[in-house]
């Protein structure tokens, strides 16, 4: 008799349920019920729903550009990538960058039979071999901001050239990474400038409605952007004209390495990132994405400042030709946005001033009347005043001006009233000082 047989059997406490008998398979039946409950909790559906950041991510993936998602822990970056891979029907390969060695990305040296003749090949890791066997996939590099500088250096060829050791990844493999800001990353590192400049940086934030509806079982669906085949040549030509025209006007932005380490680890302008911005602009034009989505992509490629300047340049490119407006004022189509409308009217006045002729001057007034009929009158004060200053002594005032006199006079009276109020306030302050 062993010593264990001398121990009394445990007696259940009063009111304690009797233990559930173990099934024939050796597992507790309650675990099977628990698995069923977990399966129900994990069962969700998707729906088409406008989501600007998800649309920007999908467009960048379609453009075959590496994307880096920045966001606080638990914000849903990994879940978004999982759902994206499912929607695009791509096998997902997740690699936690921070727990790997540099050789896991650059390859492990393997000595062959005759290294002097055959060299020493760099053997790729298993995950890379499996990606090549699949022929396509979504490579997810997670926790990038906690990877050491040596690992980040090894990732340079993976992200840009799609090479892992001696292995070339298939063209159908897309790369997306995720990182936490250094303030919230566990033992985080700033991204090195060469690695940061290879990514399209998207800042992931949660949307209250998306989270609530998703927890209810319905998440937004990521869909590949619908590119219109007939628009592809036009989209490429527009993107090249926009980026090249902008950089001709702002050559100092072709390459500008930020001065601080934190900003160097984000998006900044370089020939490489401008090339990516050009590609995204072409894709966005061919897919007719919204300005908000395009802004996320452009700013995430070349940085906030240069990106906003490029977007403003795009707005100016969309302005109507002032000569076309002067040629047919009655059917002139002016921009709806106030700033663009005023810029178009100022361009008309500038065109008249560049070649001042009576017929063109009268056509300019007709354009202003057209603007009065189709938009806010307060935008007409400055261009009308400038156009009036171009009048020659022998030019008669056209009848169209009578329709604008009330608007201009009202605005001037308002300006004088504001001036009187300001003068009275200044006088009051001066009196108070003397007292």
Domain at 46-108+122-220, CATH from 3.40.630.30, 3.40.50.300, 3.30.930.10, 3.30.565.10:
3.40.50.300
Percent of the chain with pLDDT over 90: 34
Q: What is the pLDDT of residue 283?
A: 95
Rounded CA separation 358/380 (Å): 20
Cα 23 to Cα 12, 20, 26, 39, 95: the distances in Å are: 21, 9, 5, 21, 38
Q: CA neighbours within 13 Å on the CB side: how many for 189?
A: 17
Percent of the chain with pLDDT over 70: 83
Give the contacts of 49 (CB within 8 A, at least 6 positions apart): 210, 220, 221
Tokens 């920045």 correspond to 70
First to last CA, the chain: 110
Mean pLDDT for the chain? 82
What residue spans define the domains of the chain? 46-108+122-220, 229-317, 322-434
Which range, 104-118, 264-278, 327-341, 395-409, is most confident? 264-278
Higher pLDDT, 10 or 298: 298
Q: CA neighbours within 13 Å on the CB side: how many for 159?
A: 23
Which range, 20-24, 124-128, 284-288, is most confident? 284-288
Contact 202, 70 (CB under 8 A): yes
Contact 292, 303 (CB under 8 A): no
Helix (H, G, I), strand (E, B) or coil at 123: strand
Least confident of 43-47, 191-195, 215-219, 419-423: 419-423
Q: What is the pLDDT of residue 400?
A: 73
Q: CA neighbours within 13 Å on the CB side: how many for 123?
A: 7
Rounded CA separation 22/280 (Å): 59
Q: What is the pLDDT of residue 421?
A: 39
Q: What is the pLDDT of residue 13?
A: 47
Q: Give DSSP secondary structure letters for 336-374.
A: SSHHHHHHHHHHHHHHHHHS--HHHHHHHHHHHHHHHHH
pLDDT at 201 over 70: yes
The secondary structure of residue 156, as a DSSP letter, is: H
pTM to 2 decimal places: 0.73
Token pair listed for 329: 């004022």
pLDDT at 320 over 80: yes
Q: How confident is the model at residue 273 (pLDDT cuts 50, 70, 90)?
A: very high
Q: What is the pLDDT of residues 153-164, one digit of tens each?
A: 989 989 988 988
Q: What are phi and psi of 95, to 5 degrees?
A: -125, 120
Q: What are phi and psi of 240, to 5 degrees?
A: -65, -45
What's CA 241's distance to the chain center, in Å? Answer: 21
Q: How confident is the model at residue 414 (pLDDT cuts 50, 70, 90)?
A: very low
Residue 337: left (phi > 0), alpha (psi -120 to 50), or beta? beta
Burial 312-347 (b: 16+ CB within 10 A, else e): ebbeeeebeebeebbeebeebebbeeeebbbbbbbb
Q: CA neighbours within 13 Å on the CB side: how many for 109?
A: 5
């Amino acid at each position: 008799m062993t010593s264990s047989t001398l121990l009394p059997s445990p007696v259940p406490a009063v009111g304690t349920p009797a233990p559930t008998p173990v099934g024939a398979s050796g597992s507790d039946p309650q675990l099977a019920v628990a698995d069923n409950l977990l399966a129900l909790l994990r069962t969700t559906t998707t729906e088409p729903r406008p989501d600007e950041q998800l649309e920007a991510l999908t467009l960048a993936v379609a453009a075959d550009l590496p994307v880096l998602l920045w966001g606080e822990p638990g914000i849903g970056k990994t879940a978004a990538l999982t759902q994206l891979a499912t929607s695009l029907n791509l096998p997902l390969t997740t690699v936690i960058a921070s727990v790997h060695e540099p050789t896991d990305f650059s390859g492990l040296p393997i000595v062959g039979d005759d290294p002097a003749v055959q060299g020493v090949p760099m053997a790729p890791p298993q995950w890379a071999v499996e990606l090549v066997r699949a022929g396509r996939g979504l490579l997810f590099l997670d926790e990038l901001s906690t990877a050491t500088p040596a690992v980040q250096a090894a990732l340079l060829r993976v992200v840009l050239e799609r090479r892992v050791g001696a292995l070339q990844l298939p063209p159908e493999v897309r790369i997306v990474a995720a990182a936490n800001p250094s303030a919230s990353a566990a033992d985080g590192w700033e991204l090195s400038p060469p690695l940061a400049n290879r990514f399209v940086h998207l800042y992931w934030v949660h949307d209250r409605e998306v989270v609530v509806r998703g927890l209810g079982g319905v998440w937004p669906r990521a869909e590949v952007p619908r590119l219109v085949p007939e628009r592809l040549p036009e989209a490429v030509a527009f993107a090249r004209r926009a980026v090249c025209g902008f950089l001709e006007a702002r050559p100092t932005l072709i390459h500008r390495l930020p001065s601080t380490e934190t900003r160097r680890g984000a998006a900044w302008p370089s020939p490489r990132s401008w090339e990516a911005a050009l590609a995204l602009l072409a894709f966005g034009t061919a897919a007719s994405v919204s300005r908000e989505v395009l802004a996320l992509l452009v700013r995430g490629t070349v940085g906030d400042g240069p990106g906003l300047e490029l977007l403003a340049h795009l707005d100016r490119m969309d302005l109507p030709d002032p000569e076309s407006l002067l040629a047919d004022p009655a059917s002139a189509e002016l921009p709806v946005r106030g700033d663009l409308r005023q810029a178009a009217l100022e361009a008309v006045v500038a065109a008249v001033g560049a070649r001042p002729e009576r017929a063109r001057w009268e056509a300019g007034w007709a354009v202003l009347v057209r603007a009065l009929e189709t938009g806010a009158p307060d935008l007409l004060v400055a261009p009308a005043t400038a156009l009036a200053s171009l009048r020659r002594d022998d030019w008669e005032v056209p009848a169209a001006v009578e329709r604008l006199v009330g608007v201009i006079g009202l605005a001037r009276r308002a300006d004088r009233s504001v001036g009187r109020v300001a003068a009275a306030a200044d006088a009051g302050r001066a009196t108070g000082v003397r007292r």
